Amino acid sequence: MSVQTRSTQDPLWARILLIGGMFAFLCLFLFVPLASVFVEAFRKGLAVYAAAITEENARSAIVLTLTLAVICVPLNAVFGLAAAWAIAKFSFKGKSLLLALIDLPFAVSPVVSGLVYVLLFGANGVFGAWLQAHDIQIIFAVPGMALATIFVTFPFVARELIPLMQAQGNDQEYAALSLGASGWQTFLRVTLPNIKWALFYGIILCNARAMGEFGAVSVVSGHIRGETNTLPLHVEVLYNEYNSAAAFACASILSLLGLLTLGLKTFIEWRAGLRHRNP
Amino acid sequence: MSIVVQNLRRTFGTFQALRGINLEIADHQLVALLGPSGSGKTTLLRIIGGLDFPDPGQGKILINGEDVTEEPAADRKAGFVFQHYALFNHLSVFDNVAFGLEVRRKAVRPGKAAIRDRVLELLRLVQLEGLESRLPSELSGGQRQRVALARALAIEPKVLLLDEPFGALDAKVRKDLRRWLRSFHREIGVTTVFVTHDQQEALELADVVVVMNQGQVEQVGSPQQVYDQPATPFLYEFLGDVNKVRKPGRPDLFYVRPHEIRILFAGDAEAEFHAKIEHLFAAGPSARLTLRFQDSRDTLDADITRLQLEEMGLSEGDEVGLKLALSTHG
Amino acid sequence: MGFTLAYLGLIVLFPLLLVFVKASGLGWSGLLHAVSTPRVLAACRLTFGLSALACLLNCVFGLLIAWVLVRYRFPGRGFLDASVDLPFAMPTAVAGIALTGIYAPNGWIGSLLKPYGIKVAFAPPGILIALVFIGLPFVVRTLQPVLEDFEIAQEEAAASLGATRWQTFCRVVFPQLAPALVTGTTLAFARAVGEYGSVVFIAGNMPGKTEIVPLLIITKLEQYDYAGATALAALMLLISFALLLLINFLQRKTLVRPNT
């Protein structure tokens, strides 16, 4: 942190004004909306709240959300590790292209992401006829949603690991190899411990996005209640039916997930001395 | 302009950086604040410059007789040159130097042409003409330092303050710039105070050396005075190499500098002590002998000229006689 | 290595190329025709116009927030610092219904504005608020490292040369923050144009008035206008690519990397 002396301090009135402005902005845009979720969720009382989140469709939505997370997060974690490993430890042509491609899902609208899978696997899609012939359902079913979720969340782990592994270099791995360790041993005992916090961090973010994704899964899901609705989609259904108490009740669960993510994120940043990073 | 420091105290939390400094610097002088890390010299410099302030009610700074203690840096007209130059990276050399003139209130701001003339004149003075449109990133360390100097001078400061001006440069560049600064100071005549931990630099450059240690002034004097007549053991050890010697039969320690030891042949009647040459280092302008006393187990470092080394035909393992001019005691 | 490329190829490249293949099945004139209907143009104007406005707001407030968080000390600073990531950690649908709830005519803030005839939810201002919400972390987080690393000696130098704090900010600090500011704003813009979940609830979704492009794509899909949806998606993809290149270029230029 830069040390400020009186010669570089802003005048008191400016400080008060700016801090006040920040408080006002954050309250208006962050805290009031967050608070409203919980207020609206409990507006009709605890009984209604409990009923809303244990109702059958809500439960299957929760299960589906968790299922998708369980499928997508580990896969993307492995991919992220592999990609970071390849990029950091080897030199090859097209590295910068690879890096840009990894960033792609961040720049693409989630709706477009979902759309490509519909175009691929939908009834009129490229593989549509083939899939129908083999009675395989991807779009409007869980596999399609999994694919869409993988797409939008795959950069998270990779982006956290790549700069870190690049900065760490190969020295320790070479040392381990020269001492007789196998490639796998080197990975487990040398590489992994060095990146564990970044890996954990990436997984947290990946998970938050996987569970909270809305646009992409909305396109591929078909909104079949009880079957292809994740919790965010279920919230939408409830809201559009003007069942706002139930909608906010389910939303409150997602909010808790968001807050938990934030907490873990902050904890890791503090613990690992990481600096602020880009979302 | 003269600088007077009165009873200055500065505390950071529980650390006393300055414990009551009293100092007078005459007009036109080139003064070195010399001392080890943590001695408070940079803190003192910054307070003189207005970048920091003494503890409330604990001291005064007078520039040219005026009490400027409470004046912020912007009003003080003390030119400051930072250790890492602190050039404005996004501005050209010209804009860097012109900065102090550009930010003046409309009433006292010179016209564009006047600013241009002044900047170019200053760049000529620091021997950087032709480089006005370069960016700091395109300059060498020595060049950047001179831009920083020109920038500080543009505001026609009452005093010039340099914080370890050559600390970040190569040895050769440092030497050249030292020589340059000396003649530059003679030319411009502004009262200049610079901070350094390099005693060679302080002794070579300054008119007056102020040696500081642990927040206090240990000694003030000309380079000759401070080197030849150090007032305290700290000064003796800090300024130049020193040997600590015990006279046989006496428990106390004496200080003697390596070049103050006369090497004689072992049988010479004038020899006061006898020692054996344990190590000989002659790859330099003079020869350094590491000597071990015969009767005690103390060692001594002595410097003799290469000429003397050849004339006496000395080598490792030889026994020699010593005559010491033992001065200050430890 | 091979695994990475295969994974990437399968999941990313192939599907995306497909969008273009399908879109080009329309032919160039068909493509142009599909994206230039009044409804589409209105949606584009709305999406890009409001996204631009939103990230300008984020630019100003993001700078303010980053400055306060880095430079000032006050109780609750750490907590507020962490909370800046809220829009990023929160599922978009939750943000969507929360904002709608508040700004609807019978909502906490909406009801306060109703007497003045100000409509926020189900109108462009509502969309603007949602876009400002989700873009906030981008500007703040891009600026913070740069501010933290800023050489304070430059500010001291400016002070010693006679500059006021305001002059120092305008002439010394801000110009050196500008690259990071632009990068962060571009990131916020890229996010805003594609945003769906936070916006679709509060927008009202009236064609020609409050319909955003992502929603239009979905609507076309539901109406089996695959060609139209694809054409629009291709347009969005092109813009995404362009923004991605721009962002990478800017990041390299300013050496602003997300991690140290």
Per-residue pLDDT reduced to its tens digit, B315-330? 888 888 888 766 545 4
Q: With respect to residue C8, please indicate whether it lies within any of the assigned structural domains.
A: no
pLDDT higher than threshold 70 for residue C19: no
Contact list, A33 vs chain C (CB under 8 Å):
95, 98-99, 102, 133
Q: Do B103 and C159 touch (CB under 8 A)?
A: no
Q: Angle, to 10 degrees, between the axis of helix C38-71 and the axis of helix A12-26?
A: 140
**A179 Cα to chain C: minimum distance (Å):** 24
Does a structural domain hold residue C137? Answer: yes
> What does each C-alpha distance from A136 to A119, A129, A141, B197, C249 come to in angstroms?
15, 10, 10, 78, 43
* CB contact at 8 A, C44 and C170: no
Q: How far is C159 from chain B (nearest CA, A)?
A: 5
Do C214 and A215 count as a contact with CB atoms less than 8 A apart? yes
Classified as helix, coil or strand, B11 is strand
Q: Indicate if the pLDDT at residue B277 is higher than 50.
A: yes
In a domain, A88, yes or no: yes
From A120's Cα to the closest Cα of chain C, the distance in A is: 7
Three-state SS for B220-283 is EECHHHHHHCCCCHHHHHHCCCCEEEECCCCCCEEEECHHHEEEEECCCCCCCEEEEEEEEECC
Give the position of tokens 């003269």. B2
B29 and B191 Cβ atoms separated by less than 8 Å: yes
Nearest CA to B184 among B119, B99, B120, B127? Answer: B127
Residues in chain C: 260
Is position C162 within any domain?
A: yes
Q: What pLDDT was estimated at residue B269?
A: 83
Instruction: State the sign of the Cα–Cα–Cα–Cα dihedral A32, A37, A38, A43.
Output: positive
Q: Do A13 and A73 reside in the same domain of the chain?
A: no
Of C67, C98, C159, the CB nearest to A33: C98
Torsion of the alpha carbons at A70, A73, A74 and A77, rounded to the nearest 10: -170
Distance CA C237, CA C243 (A): 10
Amino acid occupying residue A158: A
Give the pLDDT mean for B193-200: 91
Give the helix/strand (H/E) hosting B78. Answer: strand B78-81
Predicted local confidence at residue A137, as pLDDT: 78
Closest Cα in chain B, distance from residue C138 (Å)? 24
For residue A146, what is the domain's CATH number?
A: 1.10.3720.10
Amino acid at C159: A
3-class SS letters over A231-257: HHHHHHHHHHCCCHHHHHHHHHHHHHH
Q: Which of chain A's residues have a Cβ under 8 Å away from the Cβ of B68?
A: none
3-state secondary structure of B291: strand
> Which residue in the set C161, C164, C172 is minimally distant from B151, CB to CB?
C161
Q: Which residues of B touch A5 (CB under 8 A)?
A: 46, 51-52
Using CB atoms and an 8 Å cut-off, which of residues 89-148 of chain A contact chain C?
90, 92, 98-112, 115-120, 124, 126, 147
* Residues B302/B291, Cβ–Cβ less than 8 Å: yes
CB spacing of C97 vs A167 below 8 angstroms: no
Q: Check pLDDT > 70 for residue C28.
A: no
Q: Is position C86 within any domain?
A: yes
Q: How far is A112 from chain C (nearest CA, A)?
A: 6
b/e code C89-126 from CB counts within 10 Å (16+ = b): bbbbbbbbbbbbbbbbeebbbbeebeeeeebbbbbbbb
Interface check C68 vs A, CB under 8 A: yes
Q: Which residues of chain A have pLDDT under 50?
A: 1-2
Does C81 map to a domain? yes
pLDDT at A8: 82
Task: Tell whether the torsion through CA atoms of B39, B44, B46 and B47 is positive or negative.
Answer: positive
* Integer Rg of chain B from CA: 25
Q: Identify the pLDDT of residue B152.
A: 94
**pLDDT digit string, tens, across residues B34-88:** 999 889 999 999 999 999 999 988 899 999 989 999 888 888 999 999 999 999 9
In terms of domains, do A27 and A141 share one? no
Residues A54 and A15 in one domain: no
Output the pLDDT for position A225.
66
Q: Is residue B136's pLDDT more than 90?
A: yes
Best residue in A2, A5, A8, A9 for a mutation probing chain B (most B CBs within 10 Å): A5
Check whether residue A15 and residue A63 sit in a common domain: no
Q: In what order do the strands lie in the sheet with B319-324?
A: B261-265, B319-324, B273-281, B286-293, B299-305
**Residues C44-61: what's their mean pLDDT?**
92
Q: Provide ipTM, 2 decimals.
A: 0.82
Which tokens is A128 given?
């549509």
CB neighbours of B19 closer than 8 A, spacing ≥ 6?
B9, B40, B214, B215, B216
The chain-wide mean pLDDT, for chain B, equals 88
Calpha distance B188→B153 (Å, rounded): 10
Is C99's Cβ below 8 Å from some Cβ in A? yes
On whether residue A277 sits in a domain, the answer given is no
Beta-carbon contacts of A152 under 8 Å, excluding residues fewer than 6 positions away, are: A105, A110, A113, A209, A213, A216
Lowest mean pLDDT among A242-246, B247-251, C8-12, C174-178: C8-12
C231 CB neighbours in chain A (<8 A) are: none
User: Distance between CA B165 and CA B84 in Å, rounded?
Assistant: 8
Write out chain C in H/E/C secondary structure.
CHHHHHHHHHHHHHHHHHHHHHHHCCHHHHHHHHHCCHHHHHHHHHHHHHHHHHHHHHHHHHHHHHHHHHHCCCCCHHHHHHHCCHHHHCCHHHHHHHHHHHHCCCCCCHHHHHHHCCCCCCCHHHHHHHHHHHHHHHHHHHHHHHHHCCCHHHHHHHHHCCCCHHHHHHHHHHHHHHHHHHHHHHHHHHHHHHCCHHHHHHHCCCCCCCCCHHHHHHHHHHCCCHHHHHHHHHHHHHHHHHHHHHHHHHHHHHCCCCCC
pTM comes to: 0.84
Q: What is the pLDDT of residue B144?
A: 93
Please report residues of C whose CB lies closer than 8 A to that of A279: 85, 88, 137-138, 141
Identify the helix (H) or strand (E) that includes residue A136: none
C22 assigned to some structural domain: no
Q: Which tokens in the block code for residue C139? A: 């500007």
Q: How many Cβ atoms sit within 10 Å of the Cβ of residue A267?
A: 14
Residues of A in contact with B50 (CB under 8 A): 7
* List of long-range contacts for C36-39, beta carbons under 8 Å, 24+ apart: C38/C208, C39/C207, C39/C208, C39/C211, C39/C216
Looking at beta carbons, which residues of chain C come within 8 Å of B68?
none
* Set of chain B residues whose Cβ sits within 8 Å of the Cβ of A7: 50-52, 72-74
- Residue A8 DSSP code: G
Say if residue A184 is in the same domain as residue A226. yes
Checking if the pLDDT of B270 tops 50, the result is yes
* DSSP letter, residue B295: S
**Does position B98 have pLDDT exceeding 60, yes or no?**
yes
Rounded CA-CA distance C118/C111 in Å is 10
Tell me the pLDDT tens digit for each residue of A133-189. 777 777 888 888 898 999 899 888 888 888 888 888 778 888 888 888 887 888 888
Q: Which residues contact A158 (CB under 8 A, 6 or more apart)?
A: A79, A80, A83, A84, A102, A202
Instruction: Calculate mean pLDDT across residues C88-93.
Output: 89
Q: Both A22 and A145 in a single domain?
A: no
Average pLDDT over residues B290-305: 83
Nearest Cβ partner for B74 among C163, C172, C176: C163
Q: Does A279 map to a domain? A: no
- Could you tell me the CATH number of the domain that includes residue C240? 1.10.3720.10
Taking alpha carbons only, the member of C54, C96, C112, C107 closest to residue C199 is C96
Q: In angstroms, rounded to a whole number, what is the distance separating the alpha carbons of residues C245 and A97?
A: 10
- Asked whether residue A119 falls in the same domain as residue A23, the answer is no
Q: Angle CA(B17)–CA(B18)–CA(B19) in degrees, nearest 5?
A: 120
Q: Which domain holds residue A145?
A: 45-272
Structural domain tally of chain C? 1
User: For residue B66, what are the CA distances in angstroms to B3, B47, B57, C127?
Assistant: 9, 15, 17, 61
Domain span at C55: 37-254
CB contact under 8 A, B103 and C158: yes
Distance of CA B77 to the CA centre of its chain: 23
Q: Are C83 and A31 inside 8 Å of each other by CB?
A: yes
- Our CA-based measurement puts residue B180 at a distance from the nearest CA of chain A, in whole angstroms, of 31
Q: What is the band of C59 on the pLDDT scale with cuts at 50, 70, 90?
A: very high
| A131 in the same domain as A262 | yes
Q: Is the distance from CB of B212 to CB of B42 less than 8 angstroms?
A: no
Q: What is the mean pLDDT of chain C?
A: 83
> What band does C9 get if pLDDT is binned at 50, 70 and 90?
low
Q: Which band of pLDDT confidence, cut at 50, 70 and 90, is reported for residue C256?
A: very low
Identify the residue with better confidence: C19 or C90. C90
Give the model's pLDDT for residue A1: 36
Closest chain C C-alpha to B275 CA, distance in angstroms: 54
pLDDT of residue A219: 87
What does the pLDDT read at residue C20? 66
Say whether both A110 and A127 belong to one domain: yes
Question: Are A112 and A1 in a shared domain?
Answer: no
Instruction: Number of A to C CB contacts under 8 A, please give it.
Output: 281
Q: What is the tally of structural domains in chain A?
A: 2
Answer whether C57's CB lies under 8 Å from C179's CB: no
Q: Residue B183 pLDDT > 70, yes or no?
A: yes
- The pLDDT score that the predictor gives to residue B249 is 64
Q: Is the CB of C93 less than 8 angstroms away from the CB of A236?
A: yes
Count how many residues are written for chain B. 330
Q: Is residue A28 domain-shared with residue A75, that is, in the same domain? A: no
Same domain, A30 and A120: no
